[in-house]
Structure 1
Amino acid sequence: MTNILLTGSSRGIGAAIATALTLPDVTLVGHGTASGIPADFADPAGPLTLWNAALEQLDGRIDVLINNAGVFEANPLDRPHDEWVADWERTMRINLTASAELCRLAVRHWQERQSGGRIVNIASRAAYRGDSPAHWHYAASKAGMVAMTKSIARGYAAEGILAFAVCPGFTMTGMAADYLSSRGGEKLLADIPLGRVAMPEEVAETARFLALAAPASMTGGVIDVNGASYVR
């Protein structure tokens, strides 16, 4: 039995990942007010609270951590300086710092158990391509997540600790749908050679593969799911 902790499992990509991992040999603990353990990642105490509660539910063993929770909130440059900085720090704490804390707890857990484990971080195309002028913070947080993933992969592969990242482009979630409509959906779709945004199930299938089936030699890999809107 594989025990998995999935953050941000209430909706969108997270809910699709939870569905993809509804398997006979998987026990999954979700995070979110609608789907699992509630924990506010804007609160510095949130990640550790979630980790400890998940460990308790999973009888003291977590095999896979999937960091999916995140926010995508506009932060225009013409806002008052203090407000802009506060929203920058909020996005960094939720998208990157909380994920880093959980990755650290997972690595230490697997080191103590000498068991190995897997981390799957849901990042974004924005990590490589950047984002709009109102979303510096979002792009920076996802670039940090990719760099962190690669660092974990390089640092702990010899201990059987594997780390992967997924970089979706626009995905048909509520978060992306609002952004598409606010920035002229047809124009943005024209930038995607596939002709459509990704479906949550496509990202979820990628996460499922990395969590359960990807060969160990793939550790450090970053998988793009963006309809060829950004290739590298």
Structure 2
Amino acid sequence: MTVPTPPPVRHPLAASGRRVLVSGASRGLGRAVAQAFAANGDRVAVHFGSRREDAEETLASLTGDGHVLVGGDLSDPAGARQVADAAAAGLGGIDVLVNNAAVNIKHPLPETPYEEWAALWQQHVSVNLLATANLSHLAGRRMIEQGTGGRIVNIGSRGAFRGEPDHPAYGATKAAVHALGQSLAVSLAPYGIGVASVAPGFFDTERVAHRLSGAEGAAIRAQSPFGRVAGADEIAAAVLWLASPQAEWSSGAVLDLNGASHLRT
């Protein structure tokens, strides 16, 4: 694919009917994001890595027509290309990319053997950072060629700012995702492509539901002065807005979504 020079004529991004690729959409936040875009009248490519059954449930839950299922290993650059190509073929192009796929495996330094530590860092970097960078390149170049602008929204984390002692590779890679988004926001703006990130705090999904019972759950809810955690639908609503035509001036932003549980200065 060839990058046009000078930048193509920009056209307003439509408010609905867009072609949206959501990575890691088999369940949890990815599912909620896919559902939010579908309810908005957009067509969604639901990506999965290994959870095909869950992804099929996500696909079946979407309102509207024209949604597609795409599988692939994003930790492999060839796999990322396969996913982007399949999404573009199934939808007829890509107008919005939501980089949601991530791993988050506990590995506190004092308790983790070196071999395991090194392997987990490689895994986090490959999925959380490099897959985000590769999909952004593949989707971004398509958006440039289409000439109608676009949006990339990255799912970051509160942990990028406050630290993650039990999940240091997760916190570090999410900080890198925030920085990547800001770099791309500058380089892609001339093509009408906005890039932003969200930095959620703790939010409720099936993966972490067990942690919200008993004393641990009370402590987690107490992190916010609202005395609760977010729902995945609240995070998805912010992603949908950042991908909207009205949000162009938010390009480069990292939006905190943590219920005042961590305040940056």
What TM-score results when the alignment is normalised by the length of structure 2?
A: 0.81
- Aligned pair count? 230
Which residue number in structure 2 is paired with residue 23 of structure 1?
Answer: 39
Which residue number in structure 2 is paired with residue 130 of structure 1?
Answer: 163
**Cα distance in 2 for residues equivalent to 1:122 and 1:189:** 21
Aligned: 1:187 with 2:219: yes
Partner of 1:22: helix, strand, or coil?
Answer: helix
What per-residue deviation string (whole Å, max 9, x for no partner) do you get for residues 12-39 of structure 1? 1111111111236311111012322121
Aligned: 1:207 with 2:239: yes
**Cα distance in 2 for residues equivalent to 1:84 and 1:180:** 27
Which residue number in structure 1 is paired with residue 129 of structure 2?
Answer: 96
Kindly state the Cα deviation for residue 180 of structure 1 after the two structures are TM-superposed.
5.3
Q: Kindly provide the amino acid, as one letter, of the partner of residue 5 in structure 1.
A: L
Q: Show structure 2 runs of 5+ residues with no match.
A: 1-16, 56-68
**Cα distance in 2 for residues equivalent to 1:145 and 1:182:** 33
Which residue number in structure 1 is paired with residue 102 of structure 2?
Answer: 70
**Cα distance in 2 for residues equivalent to 1:178 and 1:97:** 30
- Counterpart among 110, 113, 117 of residue 146 in structure 2: 113
**Cα distance in 2 for residues equivalent to 1:158 and 1:117:** 11
Partner of 1:192: helix, strand, or coil?
Answer: coil
Q: Show structure 1 runs of 5+ residues with no match.
A: none
**Cα distance in 2 for residues equivalent to 1:27 and 1:150:** 26
Which residue number in structure 2 is paired with residue 225 of structure 1?
Answer: 257
Q: Kindly provide the amino acid, as one letter, of the partner of residue 148 in structure 2.
A: S
- Counterpart among 166, 172, 184 of residue 152 in structure 1: 184
Question: CA, structure 1 residues 135+71, in 2 after alignment: closer, same or farther (shift >3 Å)?
Answer: same
Aligned residues: percent identity? Answer: 40
Partner of 1:5: helix, strand, or coil?
Answer: strand
What is the RMSD of the two structures over their aligned residues, measured on CA atoms?
1.8
